[in-house]
Chain A
Amino acid sequence: MANMAVSRIKREFKEVMRSEEIVQCSIKIELVNDSWTELRGEIAGPPDTPYEGGKFVLEIKVPETYPFNPPKVRFITRIWHPNISSVTGAICLDILKDNWAAAMTLRTVLLSLQALLAAAEPDDPQDAVVAYQFKDKYDLFLQTAKHWTNAYAGGPHTFPDCDSKIQRLKDMGIDEHDARAVLSKENWNLEKATECLFS
């Protein structure tokens, strides 16, 4: 990898390690391999959001042209958010695309992602299904997002109703993750979800 990319990442890594946020356990970063091309980030779900209490792991790939091009970032932890794909974890965030600037760093990227969790942009969605639920059935969106945070990121809120519906589908031989995804998409309507799975 290009020299500047490696030396920048090394400096940024130290910057994150020294930052206030790491003391507060709100962001974390670690190396995946020795070549400094791939890192693993972690952000805490911001307070007063359905993601509160959860820890979300991110895959960060540093391109050879860094810092002239943005790092490639995606959620490894599954999350229910209008700007993040519930299937692949792909993120729709302007600074990771056209609005990237060379002065941005791993720390600012992680903090921006945390801010994205606190302020979704449903009009510029990555996941159309989630965005539709966010705009049309906000209460249901909150419940689903909290349920996903509990199931995948260690969040505190449990929803026995959701769990029992997932169990019903599991009893029919459906994979737990598929069952959760279909039920979430069908606004937790068990009949519709079953129809969707078996038609």
Chain B
Amino acid sequence: MGMVFFAKDILFSWLAFVIYDKKCTWNIMGNCLKMSNSDDISLLRGNDSLNRQTNATQPIYHLDGHDPQIFYPTASVSINNTTSTAHQLYEDGQVKIAKRIGLMQHLPIGTYDGCSKKSRECVICMAELSVGEAVRYLPCMHIYHVNCIDDWLLRSLTCPSCLEPVDGALLISYDTT
């Protein structure tokens, strides 16, 4: 249980970092920020080093070979558009997703112990839950595979079984504690 929590936290902070990093990329676009492989001392050398670097006008970002994973809140958010409003929409979407991931972190994860006599299935993938699998508990006490429910919650903050809004219940739990 502890290990599951730990691994998940790392995943979430990594996701949040990628989203944050993505935002920065948008903000500095067009500022011609210089990036070079030489160290900072080169900046102290005066004009000649600057001249050598003028071709490196595009910011280059590396994520250690990982493609940054980008989530879209709904299919209707267009990212093909290159107008500034589309960028704004895109950014708003990313902020919304980041908030969602923050909320989802508060939903407890456990391992399925199979104690109930009746076998239960994850209604999202329709596969039976097997003992030892990581499951996420929603406030309505419906349980799902962590991967399945996280994918769903990124699209809609409701329980797929009873349609109970997940964020509302979380906010109430904040109030009472």
Contacts and interface: CB of A to CB of B under 8 A. Distances in A.
B14 to A, nearest CB: 22
Q: Which of A11, A65, A99, A103 has the most CB of B within 10 A?
A: A103
B125 A4 contact: yes
B158 interface: yes
Contact of A101 (B75, B126, B127, B163): B163
B127 A103 contact: no
Contacts of B148: 4, 102
B120 interface: no
A69 B126 contact: no
Nearest to B158: A101
Given A68-B151, A101-B160, A103-B161, A7 B75 contact: no
B160 A103 contact: yes
Contacts of A7: 125-127
Contacts of B160: 101-103
Interface residues of A, number: 13
B124 A103 contact: yes
A150 B81 CA distance: 47
Given A101-B158, A101-B163, A11 B151 contact: no
B127 A67 contact: no
Contacts, number: 32
B100 interface: no
A192 to B, nearest CB: 40
Contacts of B96: none
A135 interface: no
A8 B126 CA distance: 6
Interface in B127-176: 127, 148, 151-152, 155-156, 158, 160-161, 163
Contact of A69 (B75, B124, B163): B75
Nearest to B75: A69
Nearest to A65: B75
Nearest to B163: A101
Interface of A: 4, 7-8, 11-12, 65, 67-69, 99, 101-103
23 contacts: A4-B124, A4-B125, A4-B148, A7-B127, A8-B125, A8-B126, A11-B126, A12-B126, A65-B75, A67-B124, A68-B152, A68-B155, A69-B155, A99-B163, A101-B156, A101-B158, A101-B161, A101-B163, A102-B148, A102-B152, A102-B160, A103-B160, A103-B161
